[in-house]
Structure 1
Amino acid sequence: MRISKKILLTTLPLTVFILLSAGGVTYYLSYNAFTDMAEIWMETGLLEAVMTVTEHENILQKPENENAGVRQAESDMIAAMQSVKVGKQGYVFAVDVQGIIVAYPDKSLTGVNISAEKWFQRVRNTKNGRIRYAFQGISCMAMYAYFPARKWYLFAAVSENEAYRTVRHIGIYLFSLAVPGSTIIFLILIFLTRHLTAPLKQLITGAERIGQGDLKTRIFIPRGDELGRLADVFNKMAARLQETLAMLQSREKLFRSLIENASGIIIILNHDGSIRYGSPSVRRVLGFEADGIVGRDASEFVHPDDLPNLIEIFAEKIQHPGDIQSEEFRVRHKDGSWCVLETVAKDLLDDPVVEGWVFNLRDVSDRNQAVSQLRESEEKYRNLFESAPEGIIITTLDGEILSFNKAFMKIFKIGDKNACPELRADDLYADPGKDRSEMIRRIKKEEQIENYEQDHIDQSGRVFPASRSLRLIRYEGKLCIQTIIRDVTRIKKMEAELRNYAENLERMVNEKTGELKSANEKLSATVKSLEETREQLALNAHQSGMAEIAVSVLHNIGNTVNSVNVRASRLEEMLGTREIQSLNKIHTLLQSEWPDPGKEGSGERKEKLLDFFSMIIGILKDRNNKFGADLEFIGNGVNHIMEIITIQQKYAGLRGYETRVSLNDLLKDSAEMLMDSLVKRKIELKYSFNEIPDILLDKNKMMQIFINILKNAYETIDMAPPENEKKIYMTTSVEKEDTGEYIQVMIRDTGMGLTSEDRKKIFRFNFSTKGRGTGYGLHDAANYIRAQEGMIDLLSEGLGKGACLIIKLPNPI
């Protein structure tokens, strides 16, 4: 046998075996290669699908997207997921844990329950893996992964027909080709396998590095086929992951900054009530360090009285899961005090990242105190509203009555608030068509009206005049009219009486003045005649020695003089005291009954009318003082004559005398009466008295004036800045003026002082800078000093710089 045959016989079976083995190995290697490639397709598609879903879930969880449509966002997520390609005909689909298909290329299968499928039951026991299954009559292979955020299983699947189509063709070709073809195919397959597995290994290596966290990894496969595109997709995916990680780190830094600087507290509780996390604001609100409360039971910090309610809330939420919307309870501060915290909690026990209750708490102690004060203020306003002496009513612009007080009910004779349910604002006017329409027009234009007088009608039908002050307000969410109303029937009646009285007053004063002048002239003539008669009789009696005749005559003269004295006393009683008292009563009534002087128009009318009465009263007082002085002089003269007659009758003679007052002594006496008040206030009193002549004055009146001035001085020192000295200076001197020589009294203090505007009004009746008192003292003093033909003035350089009061009285010498 030839060697060639041996070689042939030897090599042929071996060649056949090799060919068959090569064909089998080629088929096996091709099968594994396409299996690996299919798995890489599935793994890549699954990874890209997971990244796509994760990216959309992160976008959905952004705060600014919380209000966006959830369904639309899920729809976008599913569309983006299904856009991922797995091979040429592969696809990605999602099934929830209940076995309901969430997303599938065939839309008709969306929502189908596949929980009964055996292959899905195997999937539910693991989080990720590979699986072969048959669905809808198609054998498929897939890789899957569990997505906890949505509780979905994501599948990247390809059909086995697509995966092994080429392998089957290769098997047919292998068996149809001869040994050279098989050898060539085997070599080509080996080459192709190596050519394909190299970049795949590079992809796997890159995926492993990315899986280890190295997102800077890039895979470079300079090919234009699927592997090249897969490498590009891989690189883009890594870049997106890197950007997402950077964004998450930036967002984490932002959220950490917000949490650390937030005014409220964020606390995470475990399921057993222990504190797992506390934000840094715990220290600012409760005084504890955030790390110091971690691990401690939250009930340690809750007030014992609030703890049962909090436990009840948690028990209810355990049975019926849900968030805690808003609750308030007291929490212990580190210093032992209790803070009122408002809490909003969210149940995230099922969240694999949080696994606890998230509490947002903020200190509402100040808010609750403000609410309490607001309630007190509202109650105080309601009490003021109900107890106000003037009627108050709130109505809408169309006349609906919303509220009124007791004074309003009294004015309009309303017995019960519920007695007139259909009462409207129009029913309060005597002529609603005219009066209310005019009022509505004005209030809309001016928004506020003061002292608007109109005729009204009460429930009994009585028509009466009323003064109204109106303003637009917001009440119960509506634009309304608040009206303060006052019955001015008495004021109108009083004004009419005052007008009549004022018309007759001047005539009465003139008549009384004429009577007093006539009586004064008659008395003066009688006194002069009596003096002359007395002197003549005394001389005749002395010359003739006819004492008995003189005594008899003097007796008769005494009787006549006594009659004159009685007549003078009657005239003194007729000096208009009753009229002045009536005017004072009217003056006082006007002050108490007139509407609020702060309202527009009312204050000016009141001030003019009061000034007029003050002037009339002052004129009457001045005239009475002058006529009184004359009558007093006449009376003194008559009494003097009587004394002379008595002396002549007793054959003895003393001349009459006049009492004069030392102003220096009067000032000292006045200061001595107030010394206790001055010492109590630690006020130093300094005198600087010069020698001055005595002056004829009403001692009691002048002392009262000095006492009032000194009292005003130490009261204004009480009001002065604390750095001011506490001193009062009193000085007397004789000063020469162009109009003559005067005795000057100067009282200076270091008190509050006054403005130039107040200085102009300081001697006006009823004006006071102290915020209390009657404002009568300086007014009365000025009237008396001027009645003595003197002068009075008050000087001040301004507030806080004290004041100096100067009185000048004519020197009698």
Structure 2
Amino acid sequence: MSVLFFLITLSMYLWLFAFSWMYSATDEGVALWWAKFAYLGVPFIPSSIYHFTVTVLESYEQRKRLVWLSWLLSLFFSASILSTDALIKALYQYWWGYYPRYGWLSIPYLTFFFGLLIITLHEFWLGYRQIPSGTTHKRRVKAFFIAFTVAYIGSVDYIAKYGIAIYPFGYVPVFVFLVLAARVIWSYRLVKITPSFAAEQIMATMIDPLLVCDADRKIRVVNEATCLVFGYTEQELIDKPIEYLLDQPTIKTGRRIYELLQQGLIRDEEMVLKTKSGQPVEVSISVSHLHDQDWAIVGAVIIARDIKERRQAEETLRSSERYFRSLIENGSDFIFVLKRDGTIHYVSPSVERRLGFKPEELIGQNSFNLIYPDDIPSIKEAFACAIQDQGIDPPVEARLRHKDGSWRVIEGAANNLLHDPAVAGIIINAFDITERKQAEAALRESEERLRAFANALPDLAFILDKQGRHVEILTGQKSLLRVSSEKMKDRLLHEILPKKEADDLLAMIQTTIELNKPQVLEYILDVPAGRRWFEGRTAPLPQIAHPGELVVLISRDITERKLLEKQLYQAQKMEAVGHLAGGVAHNFNNMLTTVIGYVGLAIDALPADHPVSPDLQMVQKSAQKAAALTRQLLAFTRDQPVELKILNLNDLILEIEPLLRQTAGVATSLVLCLDPALGLVKLDPNQFSQVLLNLVINGRDAMPKGGRLTLTTANVTVGQQNPTVAHGDYVLVSVMDTGVGMTEEVKSHVFEPFFTTKEVGKGAGLGLATCFGIVQQCKGYITVQSELGEGTTFDIYLPRIE
């Protein structure tokens, strides 16, 4: 096909080349010579085109006679140019130059030319219609049909050969034809695939050495790969016996070569050949025989495949298999391969270390039989999702039965490889996490115990970093936190506490970290439980990951202790005052006794109408008042002798009720709320009557415009909630007024002797001090509760006698 296209191109080239010289000739004889030279090739154009056409259309065998007839006619017309002037008898001279003038033979020639042109186009048209659509061949035929149609437009050049002065522009469509034809050849190739062509290409492109031997085992043909692998040139191998390539030729190997060449089809016979340099080459030999028409062996085709890379790949594969088998068999994980219904298709040997079963005991069993009953629903759901989704699913946990009957916690991830023919199952990569779960449970239990212990303690426990950020809050005392523990988490001290307290605590934390020693700090905070005193103690918190960055802060509520310290100070002060007042009272009482005695004797010695008698009586009354005041001082200092009796306070209150109401006055309403089941107490009734009278007087004076005074009795038990009274069972006597109340300053001095808020001359300041002393003599407690403008309540706790 390529030769035919070359002939077409050559004919057209001769035509155009000769005509160009004819146009440029100035001598008519020279121009006529070039015209006849051109027609040595022009008659062959339609024949070569028709031959090319039937070859492209693969119809040469059917059109063979017509093809050769066209070639003979072309040869005839070309020969007539050399022997006669019948085809070209002279020249015309036009404005563009000389041009051939046809003779009588032109009519047969043009009939031949245009007849073959029409036959060629008709062949193309018929062939195009018969070729299946969408094929490369159809597109190629269509392209050639268009190209040759364009080329035949150049036939207009024949008009000028009969004396008609039409410029011969035929070279233009011919040039277009050459461009189109070249494009078709480049795009669709004009290669005829024949057995010999295919064989040549296969040999040239094979990467494996190929040798063809004759019946005498001599090498007749080798491909390029043979030369590259063994290092010989083709000439060095031709006519050499095949044994020439053996690594170590022996009688045995020679006989084996002979057997291979005599046997039938051989596949993958391994042996060792050698290169030109003597290096051994491991190859896999495949042999197929060549037969003549009588089916006798005339030779053999030998393909020698270099198996060095295959051997290396096989060894790498075996090493990889050994490696991964070792991983699977000795790893802590174990692997299941499950079928679609959950049947165990494969399980790795390491399962025996984890579940006690040998692999053969599990293969063929349904995997769900190993799962704890409560875990089966969730595992079946996860297994169904794994079947639907290809790829690796998130890990799930389940309890699997050990051979000894115990249960192990297993974490497994599923990988759906049902679509992979090599696996055709779901791979479960499982890991025994029983010990981890036990450790996690123990850790949670330890954390819960620690949290419960922290919640049971009255102290506040915090873990803070060196910036003062709350890392952990451990406490059950919510009322002692300024904000909830959830809001404190990850917040700084300065975001929660007042600036001064936050600065002090942060400085203590940083000092603890720098010195690696515990620190102590007292501070006051307003919390939901009120204003409280705290003692904070810090200590470094040991850490592995970030040592020296955290501290533990234990804050203890010391409000009760502070109050007790305050009360102790008050008691010590009162005791000192009492000792002083007691000493003065004793001496003063002795002097008053003398005064009262002598004044009495003087009054008795004088007549009743004596003018001095009234003065002496006034002195006697004043001395008696002074004696009463002395007795109050002695009661306060507990130096006055008492007569203790066991009694019911309700009876004592009802007995002195008239005196109490008279003391309260008409503007004050006295209300008694007495517990009928009131317990018994031990005290001096006379002294306690004085206590009640003093409290009623104090309440009355606090309500100058009148009000309500309530006296209550009840049985109470005091526990830890009351820091000022010892724990135990008491009879409570409360005296509550609706008066003006007291300030904190007044409350702190209310039981001190000679302290009074009344005007001068209206009180000596010993009433409440006397009450305090009498109650203490009875081993009781007296407390005061008061708010300015809200009234005052005095509570007396007397030990209850069962």
- Same fold per superposition (TM over 0.5): no
Structure with greater helix percent: 1
Bucket of the pairwise TM-score, normalised by the shorter protein: 0.3 to 0.5
Give the TM-score of the pair, scaled to structure 2: 0.34
Q: Which has the larger radius of gyration?
A: 2
